[in-house]
Structure 1
Amino acid sequence: MIETQQKQLGQLLEDAIERAKINKAVQVLSITEKIDPVDPHVFFEQAKYLEKDRSFWASVPDDFYLVGAGVTFSMHADENYYQSTEKQWKQLLQNAMIHNEYQQAGTGPIAIGAFPFDYTSCQTALWEKFSGSHFTVPTYLLTKNKEDFYLTINLKITDKDEKFRLQEEIEEQKRQLIAPQQIEQVMPIMKDKLESSPEKWMELVKLATEQISQGTPSKIVIARKMEVVFEQQPVIFSVLKELTTNQTLSFVFAIEKDKDCFIGATPERLVRIDKQQLFSTCLAGTAPRGKTKAEDDQIGQRLWKDTKNREEHDYVVRMIKGSLERYCDAIDIPNEPVIYPLKNLQHLYTPVVANLKSGFSIFDVVKDLHPTPALGGLPREASLSFIREHESLDRGWYGAPIGWLDAYSNGEFAVAIRSALITEEKATLFAGCGVVKSSEPEAEYEETMVKFTPMLTALGGL
């Protein structure tokens, strides 16, 4: 079996080099094979020895993982984010040699990355390595879909490449990445925790309620940050392991660039497309978990009946339904939300299922859905105008669409909340809440403290 795979790899490399010579251009080659089980976290940790950037995506409840090692292609845009990225992606695939007999979602060449929250985002030094939209095609990609494991190798072949040298390098790096390893978790040690002026932030919430009382907008999402300092740079492997172990109903992600890493565990799917079937999530309205089942149920029922939270949730449902009507048919949305319990929080949750119409892509849907009222407010432009004028925070990729797409029109994007940007020995955490006319600044502040909890816990701060 191994000998057959090696022969096949050698022949594909030879064919790609020959095509590069004929076309006098770089040739994209993507090869997917089925492999024995590999721990995605270990694969991620071993990837650091390739001295290249890494990426990680997990839909934990679906037992679906994508782990990227290295970067073969990078797609960047500082304006027209969605159109530019889609154009670059189509160009990349146009002449690609894709050898993938499985064609399972998330195998073959994929692009993984994020768009910024807003065109005014990524303007400060904090986000300098994540400016604009940024997507990468990993050199090595591990795909875990329940019991099935796949390894995709994505290469940029030139007419100067030598088959045997390439093959030897690939085989050696594969061995390094998928060899069984026992790696110990090393939790970060936190030295300090700094909040950015809670009083000023609560004044901003009060200003938002006053603006809302005047009639427009009807909801504004206000965000803030918290900085934590460590004794040494956190081991991303350990933070990811902590998140996937404890945030079992979330999407866990990490995008690394040089020594910076944007990481999080978000419960909020923006959109998933699988064989033209579309799934989205309305998630708005938040409460803490109880210490006992009785207390937990009581808090959940209070959340479900709470006028402010139900109003906030209904905004999201109406907006998502309205946005999808252009791109989808057979839209199915339940009439009332249910309680969605996470480890530290519980939310109001309404699922959305629809069929994506022919001629539309995941880029179209993400562009129209983002930002939902859960992250921006309502109406969209009025709330974003308030945020741009008054919120001192540069959101960057916080609250933005983050996810992946493959060559077969499958993909998934989540909303990058419950997240942190790790820069060497410091992490900047982000949290926000939806402000409506009846909002109380102190209660909204406490809600953000609860929302910091998942990342603070994973970073050793709780």
Structure 2
Amino acid sequence: MLHVKIPQIDAIVEEAINRAALEGEPQMISYVEQIDTADSIAFLDRAKQVSSHRLYWRSADEEFVLAGAGSAKRVYSGDQHRFNEIEAMWTALQQKAHVYDMFSEKGTGLVAIGGFSFDSKEEKAFPWEAFPDSQMTIPMYLLTNKGDSSFLTTNLLIFKEDHKQQILHQIKSDKNHLLHGERTEVRLPVCTNTSEIQPEEWKDSVKKATEDIKNGELEKVVLARELRVAFKEDVQLAAVIEKLAATQPNSYIFTVESDGEHFIGATPERLAKVDNQQLVSTCLAGTTPRGKNDEEDKKLGQALLDDPKNCQEHEFVVQMIRQAVEACCYNIDIPEKPVLYPLRNLQHLYTPVTATLEEGYTLLDVVSRLHPTPALGGMPQKKSVEYIRNHEVLNRGWYAGPVGWFDGRNNGEFAVAIRSALIQKDEASLFAGCGVVEDSDPETEYDETGVKLKPMLSVLGGY
């Protein structure tokens, strides 16, 4: 990646066209400018007028938001070594790109946003036909909000046949829409029907899993179920993201578009974050509802802290994260006991993990080692994923997979795509899962997944 003194955008485009003709291949350019403070939800809304491909990411623990419009470049992989393959394509792209960025803030310049499916070997398709196994997108236009500062990155793939004035006119028109256009997506969905997908079959699968665990086939497995929702009209994406952001302040808010469909979520669970070589991961396993008052809330929280099943489930995840992080980090710090992590509707057992990333390793190296954690797959890792593939009553697709972003400075963050929904025009699939161990009760686990479905369902107009 070449960093040079910043010329004006017209000179950058002209030079890229000439270079494309000289070298015989398209040229990726990335131009960053600081702009007046911009509203990220409004940007996401107006982006519909520029491109159907829209992306959004809001961090859970800092004032950091990314909103993307259009696609300058997408990288895909369906290979079993998909993380390494995406990393290799990303490295090759960076080496040839010309980046004009005098600010060097994280999340500016070349930034890829997207995610990965839960299981690259999953063969069932419905309802995920529009989503490839992995997809990372470099947006054509990227708004980065960091604290009170806003930056706009313009990423373009320039061909030798392109005309400078035409490109400049398009950039000017698109930026005007994105920063000053009218909002159109302001109505929340009106739910007309909800349908649970194979609830009794799911309970039977939980019962069978407990028997298989008692027989020693595995120690724990996470089983998920699906709720299908219909709406009066096509879902207005920006309105839903705005509501999620308002009601889930301690969650990562995301949306990724593929072929006109949107995978959205408000997940509390970070997988891994790297900022200036400092790694943060999170163990978030064990769940109970919030109380109706402070006394009930504390009682429920203490019961969760004292519950053997949830504590065992949590410790599974802690030890797996420790093993994964030790392979590529030093200065590792993991507290001995979990604490409570409260959300609006739920509270979880929480253990933070911090470390320093070894030179030569990247965020995707960490993600590939962590995914899937026992909180989303089970124990042992390989056996539990195979068990899910063969026995779960749905196709997870991107549910419970890694979703996030990374930039050209090895900064980035991925969360686990739970508390999520696949939006397909006037329909949606919602997903929730629970950890099954040998003494799990199907009805109790069913009720737990119902609690986990409520935050997303309420935003989408359900009960």
TM-score, structure 2 normalization: 0.96
Separation of aligned partners in 1, 2:283 and 2:389: 24
Instruction: Find the counterpart in structure 2 of residue 105 from structure 1.
Output: 106
Separation of aligned partners in 1, 2:74 and 2:385: 29
- Alpha-carbon displacement from aligned partner over 1:411-438 (angstroms, at most 9, x marks no partner): 1100000001011111000000001112
Deviation at 1:458, TM superposition (A): 1.2
Separation of aligned partners in 2, 1:201 and 1:78: 28
- The answer to whether the 8 Å contact 1:106/1:406 transfers is yes
1:384 aligned onto 2:354: no
Instruction: Find the counterpart in structure 2 of residue 228 from structure 1.
Output: 229
**Structure 1 letter corresponding to 2:172:** E
SS at match of 2:359: coil
- Alpha-carbon displacement from aligned partner over 1:387-426 (angstroms, at most 9, x marks no partner): 1221121100000001111011111100000001011111
Instruction: Find the counterpart in structure 2 of residue 69 from structure 1.
Output: 69
Instruction: Find the counterpart in structure 1 of residue 14 from structure 2.
Output: 14
**Structure 2 letter corresponding to 1:309:** N
Instruction: Find the counterpart in structure 1 of residue 40 from structure 2.
Output: 40
SS at match of 1:331: strand
- The answer to whether the 8 Å contact 1:331/1:352 transfers is yes
Equivalent runs, 1:338-377 vs 2, <5 Å: 338-377=339-378
Separation of aligned partners in 2, 1:387 and 1:123: 12
**Structure 2 letter corresponding to 1:360:** Y
- The answer to whether the 8 Å contact 2:186/2:239 transfers is yes
Separation of aligned partners in 2, 1:97 and 1:234: 38
- Alpha-carbon displacement from aligned partner over 1:373-399 (angstroms, at most 9, x marks no partner): 000001111211221221121100000
Deviation at 1:74, TM superposition (A): 1.0
Name the CA shift for 1:196/1:125 in 2 (closer, same or farther; >3 Å).
closer
Name the CA shift for 1:389/1:83 in 2 (closer, same or farther; >3 Å).
same
**Structure 2 letter corresponding to 1:267:** P
- The answer to whether the 8 Å contact 1:116/1:122 transfers is no
Equivalent runs, 1:398-413 vs 2, <5 Å: 398-413=399-414
Name the CA shift for 1:389/1:300 in 2 (closer, same or farther; >3 Å).
same
- The answer to whether the 8 Å contact 2:341/2:350 transfers is yes
- Alpha-carbon displacement from aligned partner over 1:303-335 (angstroms, at most 9, x marks no partner): 111111001000000000011111000100111
Deviation at 1:446, TM superposition (A): 0.5
Deviation at 1:88, TM superposition (A): 1.2
SS at match of 2:124: coil
In structure 2, stretches of 5+ residues that fail to align are 1-5
Separation of aligned partners in 2, 1:454 and 1:102: 38
- The answer to whether the 8 Å contact 1:252/1:265 transfers is yes
Separation of aligned partners in 2, 1:400 and 1:292: 34
Separation of aligned partners in 2, 1:173 and 1:222: 44
Aligned length: 458
Separation of aligned partners in 1, 2:185 and 2:390: 46
In structure 1, stretches of 5+ residues that fail to align are 1-5
Tell which deviates more after alignment, 72-81 or 300-309.
72-81
Tell which deviates more after alignment, 8-17 or 146-155.
8-17
- Alpha-carbon displacement from aligned partner over 1:343-374 (angstroms, at most 9, x marks no partner): 11100000010000011111111111000000
Deviation at 1:177, TM superposition (A): 0.4
Deviation at 1:181, TM superposition (A): 4.7
Instruction: Find the counterpart in structure 2 of residue 150 from structure 1.
Output: 151
- Alpha-carbon displacement from aligned partner over 1:191-250 (angstroms, at most 9, x marks no partner): 110002222211111111111112241111011100011111110111100100011000
Separation of aligned partners in 1, 2:123 and 2:87: 20
Deviation at 1:184, TM superposition (A): 6.7
Instruction: Find the counterpart in structure 2 of residue 277 from structure 1.
Output: 278
SS at match of 2:340: strand
**Structure 1 letter corresponding to 2:93:** L
SS at match of 2:200: helix
Separation of aligned partners in 1, 2:211 and 2:131: 34
Instruction: Find the counterpart in structure 1 of residue 209 from structure 2.
Output: 208
Equivalent runs, 1:250-265 vs 2, <5 Å: 250-265=251-266
- The answer to whether the 8 Å contact 1:53/1:69 transfers is yes
**Structure 2 letter corresponding to 1:71:** S
**Structure 2 letter corresponding to 1:111:** A
- The answer to whether the 8 Å contact 2:185/2:237 transfers is no
Instruction: Find the counterpart in structure 2 of residue 128 from structure 1.
Output: 129
Separation of aligned partners in 2, 1:120 and 1:221: 17
Tell which deviates more after alignment, 135-144 or 124-133.
124-133
- The answer to whether the 8 Å contact 1:116/1:401 transfers is yes
Separation of aligned partners in 1, 2:61 and 2:414: 15
1:185 aligned onto 2:186: yes
Instruction: Find the counterpart in structure 1 of residue 440 from structure 2.
Output: 439
- The answer to whether the 8 Å contact 2:263/2:422 transfers is yes
Deviation at 1:10, TM superposition (A): 1.1
State percent identity of aligned pairs: 46
Deviation at 1:122, TM superposition (A): 6.4
SS at match of 2:102: coil
- The answer to whether the 8 Å contact 1:42/1:183 transfers is no
When the two chains are superposed, the root-mean-square deviation of aligned CA atoms in Å is 1.5
- The answer to whether the 8 Å contact 1:122/1:395 transfers is no
- The answer to whether the 8 Å contact 2:126/2:395 transfers is no
1:57 aligned onto 2:29: no
Instruction: Find the counterpart in structure 2 of residue 448 from structure 1.
Output: 449
- The answer to whether the 8 Å contact 1:38/1:180 transfers is no
- The answer to whether the 8 Å contact 2:220/2:380 transfers is yes
Stretches (4+) displaced over 3 A: 180-184
